[in-house]
Amino acid sequence: MFFKKLTIYIFCLFFSIKAYGASFTFPTTLTADTTGFVLVSNSGTTPAISGFLTDVFVVVTGTAGSIKIVTYAGLEQRTGYCGYTEDNDSSEPADCAGDSIDATDGIGFEGSQAEVNVALATLSYKGDGSTSSVSITASATPTGASYNSTNGHYYKSVAVADIDWADARTAAKSEDQQYNGLTGYLATITTASENTFVVGKLATSAWIGGSDSGTEKIWKWMDGPEADTTFTCQTDGGGTGATITDCTEQSYLNWVSGEPNQHSGNNEDCMHYYGTGENAGKWNDYVCDNNAVDSYIIEYGGMGGTATVEATTSLTITSTESTAGFTIFDVELKTMIKAQIEASNRIVDASVEPVLNRINQPRKKVKKNKNRKKSKKKNQTNFNVVKFNLPIIEKEYPRVLKYFDIDFNKTYSYEDYIKLFSKLDKENQYPLLAFLPITTYMYSDEELVSESPTTTEYTEIDNSWSTWTAGSITISERQFKIGSLGRKSDSDSITFGIDRAIGENAILGIAYREGQDDTDISNQGTKVKIKSQNITTYTSWRSSNNNSIDFILGAGHLTNDLTRKESSSATNTITGSRTGDQIYGILNFALRKSLNQLTTSYYSRIKEGYTKLYAYSENANDSAAHFKDQHITTSIISIGTSMNYQMELQNGNIFNPNALFEFSSDESDSSKAVAYYLSDSSSVYTYQAKNDASELYKLGVGFDLDFADSWSVNSKMLRKIYKDSGHENTFMIEASLVF
């Protein structure tokens, strides 16, 4: 039997200094099991509280795992715990016994000390099987006073008819009003948040701890940690802000406007809250024996000690695994999980690459006319034997025909062309030039077209639908510095697309891709084979100076065939198959600058993707496992530059050597794989496949070869350098054809 121990630290045992005898007993060590709940009392120490004089509110929380109590008789619900949205004094917290309570949400309940201890004796915990550092907090707070988490103080409202300020002050500090050993005092309000908290407890007017009985117009807090601290400087006419020697006001005041004052000449030296009316929750000064005040607010805290008791423990969790000699964290398996993540991202790139290549192709090239013949003289064309291409003109430029009186069965001389051309308005001259067999000659003739382009590659956009196809082969090898097995991958795919121009500057299209991606891991025989089908839509807008914005959106389906070898037994082959779906989007911005035949591009790119690999079970084997759904997210921001040099070859072919440099920041989240052995479904294990390549540098060289007959070939050699995690070499070649 193989044991894997996870040491989970759940707080170091400590006890706060108390002003009374309350305490919390908790074990210092505990052995549990991630396969099920274990009683904390199994440590030999039963959790318990002691020394509390009132009912107690208990909270137990943790940063991972699950937690519950088994017995809850006599306890009461508390808001915010175990799914309860409000307190219910008549209902027991039965939901705190549920098996699905996340320890981070915690359990909370209220009852007498005896009732609470019965519940704590049944406190149980279960780890999540993966988290290696967990914290659990247990605290107990006496009820009878409201706890303010902002300052750690407690507050209680005491109703007494016709009580004067001096009697309220004495009662607040008396032993009878102590709160579990803490001595109280009339409340001192120093912040807006504290005032808001106390006002929420008011039902009627109430005395609080301010007075100017010592020095007229200089108001001080009389007791508590702020005793003898000045907080208000009263003006002669009433209100605050007086300039008085050695008198400084605190930053927060909540007096009724014009208060404090000496109303009607009375000696108003004591402070209270209005409980009702338009001034409810505001401060006012009264004569100290005013019988209109019938309650007072006691504050506990800031004088040493606390009413809350905390206790903690250290927990060692031992999980029992299969006896097959295989661990879920086997290095071959971990690498296979990572290989699936890498392959899913590679498939996204393989779906996007031919689309980007298509977007960057010229919209339309000059069409070759098969009737065009070369004369014996170099670079001269025999125009006397050339005829108009009637189908092209009828299809592409029907508006030209009504201005062009020609006989399509007649052979025209060069002079005839000049006469016909001169009859066209300038708007119709250039479109016609792109399709006439004498286009090349006319572009070079300054008498005919003084502002004509200098290239035979006319940029007029074809608004009809075009179809295209591309096939690619990619070979990659990934090597790591430490900690992971190397892997080799090869992929091939074919893509079919259709698109059309929108106006003169945009293109809209859709592409379908089928491909296969194979990854070999180490030399043991572990393999990942993925067949994929992807549909990708794309649009691109290109400005007059050739800058562009490209947007690509796609979805795909994956079928993974998995073969793994155990590191401990290379002869033991385990297979499985799983499917998956993915969605992805690319937003690309490109800025292009040209100097003669050299074009330099600067681009930024955002890639977002999500892949879900569905649950599957491996083939029946002692070490076979069931894997739950796995979620893979991709979020990459890239900036880069590329250079392309255009060389015109014979017969209208174009050769483009190119190079690129790219930096990427990979913000993708880690992907979690969760599995259990088919032989032991109660033991669940988790592997967190971390994103260990947050920064990526890409260097590449290659070439594009565009043939005049619509074929093109693209080839690249790439070196990807992953910060702190090795590198990857990739060779890619793609051939495409536009119909």
In this prediction, residues 697-701 reach a mean pLDDT of: 91
Residue 240 scores a pLDDT above 70: yes
Instruction: Give the pLDDT score at 2.
Output: 29
Unique residue bearing structure tokens 């508390």: 78
676 by DSSP, 3-state: which? strand
Q: Would you put residue 11 in left (φ > 0), alpha (ψ -120 to 50) or beta?
A: left
User: Amino acid identity, residue 73?
Assistant: A
Q: How far is CA 407 from the centre of its chain?
A: 68
User: Residue 441, SS3?
Assistant: helix
Nearest-angstrom CA–CA distance, 595 and 154: 77
Lowest mean pLDDT among 75-89, 238-252, 662-676: 75-89
What's the pLDDT band for 7 if we cut at 50, 70, 90?
very low
CA torsion through residues 438, 439, 441, 445, sign: positive
Buried b (16+ CB within 10 A) or exposed e, 247-262: bebbeebebeeebbbb
Across 24-38, average pLDDT: 76
What is the arrangement of strands in the sheet containing 136-142, beginning at the earlier edge strand?
107-111, 56-62, 136-142, 309-311
Asked if pLDDT for residue 375 goes beyond 50, the answer is no
Rounded CA gap, 319 and 34, in Å? 6
Report how far Cα 487 is from the mean position of its chain's Cα atoms: 29
Confidence of residue 466 (pLDDT cuts 50, 70, 90): confident
pLDDT (0 to 100) of residue 724: 62
Cβ–Cβ under 8 Å, residues 499 and 465 = yes
Name the band, by pLDDT with cuts 50, 70 and 90, for residue 440. Answer: very low
Q: DSSP code of 223?
A: S
* pLDDT category of residue 316 using cuts at 50, 70 and 90: low
Q: Which of 31-35, 68-72, 394-398, 672-676 has the highest mean pLDDT?
A: 68-72
Which of these, 207, 198, 213, 205, lies nearest to 165 by C-alpha position?
Answer: 207
- pLDDT greater than 60 at residue 17: no
- Cβ neighbors of 370 (< 8 A, separation 6 or more) are none
For 3-17, 231-245, 630-644, which range has the lowest pLDDT when averaged over its residues? 3-17
- What integer pLDDT is reported at residue 132 of this predicted model? 57
Residue that the structure tokens 């809209």 belong to: 508
Burial class (CB in 10 A: 0-12, 13-18, 19+), 481: exposed
pLDDT at 121 over 70: yes
- Mean pLDDT value of segment 498-508: 85
pLDDT confidence bin for 320, thresholds 50/70/90: very low
In the 8-state DSSP scheme, what is residue 366? P
Query: What is the spatial distance between Cα 308 and Cα 611, in angstroms, rounded to a whole number?
Result: 48
Q: Which of 319, 297, 120 is nearest to 204 (CA)?
A: 297
Work out the pLDDT band at 620, boundaries 50, 70, 90.
Answer: low
Position 461 scores a pLDDT of 42
Token code pair at residue 179: 């709160």
Q: What is the pLDDT of residue 607?
A: 94
pLDDT class of 661 with cuts at 50, 70, 90: very high
The pLDDT tens digits for 544-566 are 777 889 999 999 999 999 988 76
Residue 494 DSSP SS3:
strand
Q: Answer yes or no: are the C-beta atoms of 494 and 734 closer than 8 Å.
A: no
CA distance 692 to 610: 18
Highest mean pLDDT among 22-31, 134-143, 160-169, 417-426: 160-169
Please state, in angstroms and as integers, the Cα–Cα distance from residue 118 to each residue in 47, 74, 114, 121, following that order. 9, 10, 6, 5
Entry pTM: 0.47
| Contacts of 102 by beta carbon, 8 Å cutoff, 6+ apart | 66
Residues 521 and 529: their CA atoms lie apart, in Å, by 11
User: By three-state DSSP, how is residue 524 classified?
Assistant: coil
Q: Is the dihedral of CA 251, 253, 238, 260 positive or negative?
A: negative
- pLDDT at site 459: 36
**Omega cis (within 30) before 27:** no
User: What is the SS3 assignment for 119?
Assistant: helix
Residue 245, helix vs strand vs coil: coil
Distance CA 463, CA 507 (A): 9
In eight-state DSSP terms, residue 40 is: G
The pLDDT value given to residue 502: 85
pLDDT bucket at 358, cuts 50 / 70 / 90: confident
- Residue 378 pLDDT > 60, yes or no? no
pLDDT of 437 higher than 50: no
pLDDT number for residue 259? 96
Q: Residue 126's beta-bridge partner residues?
A: 66
Residue carrying the six token digits 């996340």:
102
Which pLDDT belongs to residue 392? 42
Q: pLDDT tens, 91-109?
A: 888 889 887 788 888 898 9
CA distances from 130 to 36, 277, 368, 675 (A): 14, 57, 67, 11
Range from 136-140, 430-434, 506-510, 519-523 that averages highest in pLDDT: 506-510
Place of tokens 């929108």: 502
Residues 6 or more apart whose CB falls under 8 angstroms from that of 382 comprise 373, 374, 375
Centre a 10 Å sphere on the Cβ of residue 176 and count the other Cβ atoms it contains.
5
Q: Name beta bridge partners: 299.
A: 155, 185
Mean pLDDT, residues 213-235: 96
Given a cut of 50, is residue 420 above it in pLDDT? yes
Retrieve residue 153's tokens.
Answer: 């103080």
pLDDT at residue 504, as a whole number: 73
